[in-house]
């Protein structure tokens, strides 16, 4: 089997709750076709502030470098393809992650098995639905939204203490943790993401001590990215598990973080690791060091959220994930694919683990056409347009 076509669709996705900051988000849908008619899909959610990539750079790098190295190759040889990318370039993990995801989708369809089966099989029966609270400014607004969701079965909430593009955490945001706990009751899970906002060890320790009595599952990235020694000191002085996100992109940073004993958890994201193989390497390093992984989400549509669910379902060392279903937590006005669903498991809204071969999702061509900015096709004959 040979890859004959790589197609990228740059999409401008409309958000359901429009604010001055959030009206749309950029995604890139990737399509890989083979000479035997098998088609795989992947999705990049570049997020410039986080990955340094945009839909334009993802599209350009796939067209000029990553896709030409794929045409004519066996799509099942994912490891050899990833090694080739390693040897010929650096960075651009969102572009790589999207394309590699599509190769796994092809592989699942060729073998007729869902992705989680290729990653080790089911390690758990349920992957809870999660909801990100990242735009609410007032405690009343946040409590009303979270309370309504909780009555609908949503039992896991992630509160972003630095909303939007803020990089400096305001102390008044900490009061939202108490409001959220009041709204959702004692059994719901609350995670807190500081997005590097605490600045210093002293401020992080003081902040965590203010919120820990409200029952926080973990605090993510309290200090500026890469401050591993500081994170080790925060851990020594607080009792809430510490999760590293921006500080750990791939295996190299994972190794440094576990050597420094800087975290209890590592957030694994395909847009940081450049794909599933990289995610498995980060997980292997973490698991060997006695550190658990959390499977993160960059704000994906259904194509990019599917592997989050498969990874959480398959990895025994994964304790949690940000599933943020695109039609609810993800907040897309119109998702780009179908196939993901929620179901209630023991009273908790959970993601149904996709059972169709590969990622288990199918692009909605009309939703894609409606939000399409540009389409690029790469074949053996070259690139168009």
Applying CB under 5 A, which part among 59-67, 162-170, 187-195, 358-366 lies near Mg ion? Answer: 187-195
* CB of 160 vs Mg ion, minimal distance in Å: 8
Across the chain, where does the E strand assignment appear? 3-14, 24-34, 39-44, 127-128, 130-133, 156-160, 189-193, 219-220, 242-244, 265-268, 292-295, 318-321, 337-338, 342-345, 348-351, 362-363, 372-379, 382-384
Give the distance from CA 273 to its chain's centroid.
Answer: 11
Residues 6+ apart with CB under 8 A from 20: none
Identify the residue among 33, 136, 193, 324 touching Mg ion (CB under 5 A).
193
Q: Considering CB under 5 A, how many residues would be counted as binding Mg ion?
A: 3
* CB of 115 vs Mg ion, minimal distance in Å: 23
100 versus 245: smaller Cβ distance to Mg ion: 245
What is the spatial distance between Cα 342 and Cα 6, in angstroms, rounded to a whole number? Answer: 31
193 versus 335: smaller Cβ distance to Mg ion: 193
Q: What is the 3-state secondary structure (H, E, C) of 126-189?
A: CEECEEEECCCCCHHHHHHHHHHHHHCCCCEEEEECCCCCCCCCCHHHHHHHHHHHHHHCCCCE
* CB of 177 vs Mg ion, minimal distance in Å: 16
Identify the residue among 100, 134, 245, 324 touching Mg ion (CB under 5 A).
245
* CB of 176 vs Mg ion, minimal distance in Å: 17
What is the spatial distance between Cα 110 and Cα 152, in angstroms, rounded to a whole number? Answer: 38
Q: Which of residues 211-230 bind Mg ion (CB under 5 A)?
A: 220
Applying CB under 5 A, which part among 74-82, 121-129, 182-190, 242-250 lies near Mg ion? Answer: 242-250
* CB of 243 vs Mg ion, minimal distance in Å: 8
158 versus 328: smaller Cβ distance to Mg ion: 158
* CB of 305 vs Mg ion, minimal distance in Å: 16
136 versus 245: smaller Cβ distance to Mg ion: 245
Residues 6+ apart with CB under 8 A from 248: 254, 257, 263, 266, 267, 272, 282
Length of the chain: 385
220 versus 331: smaller Cβ distance to Mg ion: 220
**Bridge-partner residues for 338, per DSSP?**
362
Applying CB under 5 A, which part among 63-71, 108-116, 191-199, 362-370 lies near Mg ion? Answer: 191-199
* CB of 207 vs Mg ion, minimal distance in Å: 16
25 versus 34: smaller Cβ distance to Mg ion: 25
Residues 6+ apart with CB under 8 A from 86: none
* CB of 296 vs Mg ion, minimal distance in Å: 6
What residue number has its CB nearest to Mg ion?
Answer: 245
What is the spatial distance between Cα 275 and Cα 304, in angstroms, rounded to a whole number? Answer: 11
> Does 324 participate in binding Mg ion (rule CB under 5 A)?
no
Applying CB under 5 A, which part among 60-68, 197-205, 237-245, 249-257 lies near Mg ion? Answer: 237-245
* CB of 193 vs Mg ion, minimal distance in Å: 4
In contact, 204 and 222? CB cutoff 8 Å: yes
Token output for 335: 């998702």
Binding site for Mg ion (CB under 5 A): 193, 220, 245
């Amino acid at each position: 089997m040979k890859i004959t076509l790589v197609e990228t669709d740059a999409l401008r996705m409309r958000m359901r709750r429009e604010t001055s900051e959030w009206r749309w988000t950029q995604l890139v849908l990737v399509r890989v076709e083979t000479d035997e008619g098998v088609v795989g899909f992947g999705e990049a959610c570049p997020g410039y502030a986080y990955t340094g990539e945009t839909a334009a750079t993802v599209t350009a790098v796939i067209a000029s470098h990553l896709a030409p190295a794929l045409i004519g190759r066996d799509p099942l040889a994912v490891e050899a393809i990833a090694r080739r990318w390693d040897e010929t370039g650096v960075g651009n993990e969102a572009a790589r992650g999207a394309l590699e995801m599509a190769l796994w989708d092809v592989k699942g369809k060729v073998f007729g098995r869902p992705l989680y089966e290729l990653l080790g099989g089911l390690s758990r029966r349920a992957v809870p639905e999660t909801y990100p609270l990242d735009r609410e400014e007032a405690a009343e607004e946040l409590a009303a939204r979270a309370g309504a969701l909780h009555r609908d079965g949503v039992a896991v909430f992630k509160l972003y203490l630095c909303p939007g593009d803020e990089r400096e955490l305001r102390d008044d945001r900490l009061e939202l943790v108490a409001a959220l706990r009041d709204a959702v009751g004692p059994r719901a899970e609350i995670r807190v993401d500081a997005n590097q906002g605490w600045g210093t060890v002293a401020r992080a320790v003081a902040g965590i001590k203010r919120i820990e009595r409200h029952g926080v599952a973990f605090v993510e990235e309290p200090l500026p990215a890469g401050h591993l020694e500081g994170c080790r000191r925060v851990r020594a002085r607080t009792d809430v598990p510490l999760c590293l996100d921006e500080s750990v992109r791939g295996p190299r940073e994972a190794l440094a973080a576990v050597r420094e004993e800087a975290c209890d958890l590592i957030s694994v994201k395909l847009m940081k690791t450049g794909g599933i193989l990289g995610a498995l390497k980060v997980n292997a390093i973490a698991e060997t060091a006695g550190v658990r992984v959390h499977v993160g989400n960059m704000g994906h549509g259904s194509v990019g959220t599917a592997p989050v669910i498969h990874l959480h379902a398959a990895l025994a060392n994964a304790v949690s994930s940000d599933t943020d279903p695109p039609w609810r937590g993800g907040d897309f006005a119109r998702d780009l694919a179908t196939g993901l669903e929620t179901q209630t498991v023991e009273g908790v809204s959970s993601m149904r683990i996709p059972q169709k071969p590969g990622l288990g999702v199918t692009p909605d061509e009309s939703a894609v056409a409606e939000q399409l900015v540009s389409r690029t096709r790469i074949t053996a004959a070259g690139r168009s347009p």
